[in-house]
Amino acid sequence: MTRKEIILGITGSIAAYKACDITGLLKKEGFGVIPILTKEAAEFITPLTLETLACGRAFTGMFEPPEEWDPLHVSLADRASLILIAPATANVIGKLASGVCDDLLTCVVFASDKPVLIAPAMNDRMYRHEIVQGNIAELKKIGYKFIGPVKGHLACGREGIGRLAPSEEIVAQVKRLLK
């Protein structure tokens, strides 16, 4: 049986550090992990950290040369069994719902026909905002799956909904979606 590859999209949330734990858990379950960091995510966590944990290249830009000739966003989309975006900011959720693909991660999502699982992480007011909720509803209508966020202590110091779902629950959902 061929090993399943998970694209792990990481966006510019303080919860980006949890991508390390998610990567480790996915690897432990036997998945290959292909990290894609947005420019903003790279402000919170380095590609080198994710490359070390994933035992492979982490991607950060649209115009990195592919390993063999093929448009990078298409070749990565073709490798994926599932695309997991964790953490997902309001920004990336909005871009996906609006059809904006202006970075490698969003281009890979639109070039793929594989399942997409989104794990939001943001301030509680941002998460509850009518536009964010509308964007989530639009993405659910076209089949994107969501996990979390959960209620708890947020980086801004508030208590509320917006924490990234626990890593173990995210990985369990990945396994369910790939059965």
pLDDT above 80: residue 118? yes
Average pLDDT of the segment spanning 58-83: 78
Q: For 8-40, write each residue's pLDDT tens digit.
A: 999 999 999 999 999 999 999 999 999 999 999
Catalytic residue check, 107: no
Average pLDDT of the segment spanning 39-57: 95
Which residues face 83 on adjacent strands? 7, 116
> Which CATH number do you get for residue 81?
3.40.50.1950
How many structural domains is the chain composed of?
Answer: 1
Which tokens is 155 given? 């980086």
How many whole angstroms from its chain centre is CA 44? 14
CA–CA separation, 36 and 65 (whole Å): 14
Task: Give the closest residue to 122 by CA, choosing from 35, 21, 16.
Answer: 16
Which tokens is 110 given? 């639109």
Judge if pTM exceeds 0.85: yes
Helix 47-54 to helix 18-28 angle (10° resolution) is 10
Average pLDDT of the segment spanning 148-168: 94
Contact yes or no for 52/42 (Cβ under 8 A): no
Give pLDDT, residue 64.
67
Task: Give the closest residue to 5 by CA, choosing from 96, 112, 101, 136.
Answer: 112
Helix (H, G, I), strand (E, B) or coil at 3: coil
Range of the domain at 152: 5-177
CA–CA separation, 31 and 143 (whole Å): 23
Give pLDDT, residue 69.
59
